Chain A
Amino acid sequence: MGSTQTRGRLLSLAAGVMLVAAACGGSTATTAPASAAAPASAAAPASAAAPAANSVYTPLASAPCDLSGKDIYFLSVLKAHPTLRLWQQGFLDEARRMGFKTETIASPDDADWAKAVALGEQIRATETAGNYGMVFGYGDPSEAALVKEFGDAKVPVIWTHQVLTANQIPGVLAWSGFDPAKWGVSAADAIGAKINGTGAVAITEGSFNPTEDGVAAAFTTEMNAKYPNVKVLKPQEEGFDPPTAIAKAVSILQANPDVVGALSTTGAGPVTWGGAADQTGRTVYSIGPDMTRPNMDLVKAGKVFALAAQPGYEEHEQAVDLIAQSMCGKTVPYANELTTAIVQADGLAPYYKIVDEETPYTPAPTPSPS
């Protein structure tokens, strides 16, 4: 009896701790103190211009007006994920260049959008409408109600990394990004050609969400249409812990001896499939997103076939520019599409240059004798 009571108390305490952890899990990083004193001004409306794909985004030459009294926020999840770090960098660099008073990253460490919503509510409660703009990075439908609240308050909201149809998420002023379905199609074409239209291809996603599901669906449809002899396996969730993700990919390979290609829709995917191919000794032509240095090194070493050069940095530069223009009273287009290239080893040089400029490359010290 006593043991049962003790266990019950422990479980209650654990539940309480989990609640506290959930409440404390998110965090914000502000680069300058926030102020709610600036005058409010309504965001300018978006025009219904047709999407125009730009392979390279050219940021605004200068701020359209004085933004030194305005704040800007990047609300997202997975704060430390290498891909999200690149997006944050694009946001921060452009926000500083535009001269915002503060630029803030608000993001929980994990892929928990409930925590992101809580952070968004905190921003809404502490800021003054007209004084700030919101960038929703890696957004989720569960944030729709929050976005509407911002929209109703005339706060300019830019949704990134996902193509939206008109009024798909009420409250969004404009979207900045690329059509994930298009790079899914390009990846299917590249892998299908490489494996000569035979064998099986696996798909893994970081988590099941609209963006990654869209890439996987487009990849499957294209592969089925263009290479009908290729068997496309149903997507599996690889998660965000590298050893677990690699183990799952190994299991997929062992269960399906005919797998010769793989698509991962998450930035850690190249590490996952490169590691799984290493462990099984199999040749797997894999493609995953994001031009991070570790990913590019895997392509260079021949462990990964190619990378999808998602313009993550640029789409967040563009998101900041859209908010800047809107806050300066200009009309911005609703759809702002960029394109994604599939890059193999021979095309990496320009991307290494970008990464070197963002985070200067420090050569590793001479190996120590061991």
Chain B
Amino acid sequence: MPLPEGPSVAVAMPRSRLRGLTRRVTSIPEITLLVLCVIAFILFTAANKGFATGPNIESLFLTIVYTGIVAAGEAVIMIAGEFDLSVGSVAGMGAIVSGLLMTSWGLPVPAAIAGGVAAGAVVGLVNGLITVKVGIPAFVTTLSMLYIAKGLGYVMSGGDPVYPLPPDAGNLARTDILGIPSSIWVFLLIIVVADLVLRFSTWGRMVYATGGNPRTTGLAGISTTKVKILAFALCGALASFGGIMLVSRLQRADASIGQGWELNVITACVVGGVALGGGVGTIAGVFLGLVLLQGVQQGLVIAGVDASLQPVVAGMILIGAVGFDLYRRRRTV
């Protein structure tokens, strides 16, 4: 076939480059979510200028901090090809452990926080050992742990809130840094570190490999068992830390902290592009999923949508977001 001549060749080159650039941009896994977040931001701001105000944006981040920290751990475990339904209860249990350590036991706040995180890691470790070593499916193991951790929280606290806490219990979440509460800085740090670890570290690649194709990964000499158990422990520790962050903000620990978080967290992961089957997803995507979910909830209030209709509209937007992302991925492939 003869090549096009003259000016048409000059025109064809930039077009192909543009096409290539477009293809590269649209192949970025988080691009759909980013675009949807921007669209939602513009629409809700157009509906009411109150959406784009500092307090509302700060409130959005302050809301996703706690479930966001938990979601980072959940994303790792889901990418590794497993599931953890106990994260909400572990958050509540970690909150109680930490609260009791700083009150009844009189430990310094940092030590109490470390104790709470360690308790969560132990629970995660138990989840991992039972799931991977014993072979009980993660659904069953972590569902059982959901009740066990919740019950332990009630037993330890006697069902009563741990209140009041030492005044410096609030430092973790409430310290002002450059005009922004420290809880947001801590959350962003966790998100960035987790994303970088998953993308660039050897262990991160092992997590993707384990979730993507455990059999081949095992044949390549990687211990998928160890990867999964460590992922479970990390998930438990982060879940507990999420609960402790909320304790720091509320200055009160009670066993009801974290109730229902598992559903919000898994939803954020799925919306953020983490595959239920494992091997796919990023922490950056989960972060955008959290922002989109919470942004829509707050936006609907600000836009004046009737309270009874808000869940309906939110559900429709979510289906649309996930469907649009699926369509884009299929086209990219």
Contacts and interface: CB of A to CB of B under 8 A. Distances in A.
Interface of A: 3, 6-7, 10, 13-14, 17, 20-21, 24, 79-82, 85, 109-110, 208, 234-237, 240-244, 246-248, 250-257, 271, 276, 279-281, 293-294, 297, 359, 362-370
Contacts of B160: 85, 359
Nearest to B294: A247
Closest 6 CB pairs of A and B: A368-B108, A254-B50, A250-B59, A247-B63, A251-B301, A255-B302
Contacts of A370: 108-110, 168, 171
Contacts of A81: 256
A246 to B, nearest CB: 7
Given A21-B143, A110-B260, A246-B59, A364 B294 contact: no
Contacts, number: 141
Interface string B266-307: 000000000011000000000000000010011101111011
Interface stretch (B32-40, B115-123, B212-220, B246-254): B246-254
Contacts of B306: 234
A85 B62 contact: no
Contacts of B48: 254-255
A251 B59 contact: yes
A106 to B, nearest CB: 14
A6 B65 CA distance: 32
Contacts of A252: 301
Contacts of A80: 154, 159, 254-256, 259
B307 A236 contact: yes
A242 B168 contact: no
Interface of B: 48, 50-51, 53, 55-56, 58-60, 62-63, 65-66, 85, 102-103, 106-110, 139, 143, 146-147, 150, 154, 159-161, 163-168, 171, 246, 249-250, 252, 254-256, 259-261, 276-277, 294, 297-299, 301-304, 306-308, 310
Contacts of A251: 50-51, 56, 59, 298-299, 301-302
11 contacts: A17-B143, A80-B154, A109-B150, A234-B307, A240-B256, A243-B66, A251-B59, A364-B164, A365-B106, A366-B166, A368-B168
A243 B62 contact: yes
A240 B171 contact: no
A2 to B, nearest CB: 10
A3 B275 CA distance: 11
Given A20-B143, A236-B301, A85 B56 contact: no
A21 B260 CA distance: 12
Decide if the interface of chain B is mainly helix, strand, loop or mixed.
helix
A251 B160 CA distance: 31
Mostly, the A contact residues are helix
A244 B154 CA distance: 23
A280 B168 CA distance: 23
A364 B109 contact: no
Nearest to A245: B63
Contacts of B298: 247-248, 250-251
B111 to A, nearest CB: 8
A247 B103 contact: no
Contacts of B256: 80-81, 109, 240
Nearest to B89: A109
A365 B59 CA distance: 31
Contacts of A368: 107-110, 166, 168
A294 B103 contact: no
Contacts of B307: 208, 234-237
B294 to A, nearest CB: 7
Contacts of A297: 164
B166 to A, nearest CB: 5
B62 A279 contact: yes
Given A17-B143, A255-B48, 18 more contacts: A14-B139, A243-B66, A247-B59, A247-B297, A247-B298, A251-B50, A251-B56, A251-B59, A254-B53, A254-B55, A294-B161, A294-B163, A294-B252, A362-B103, A364-B103, A368-B107, A368-B166, A370-B110
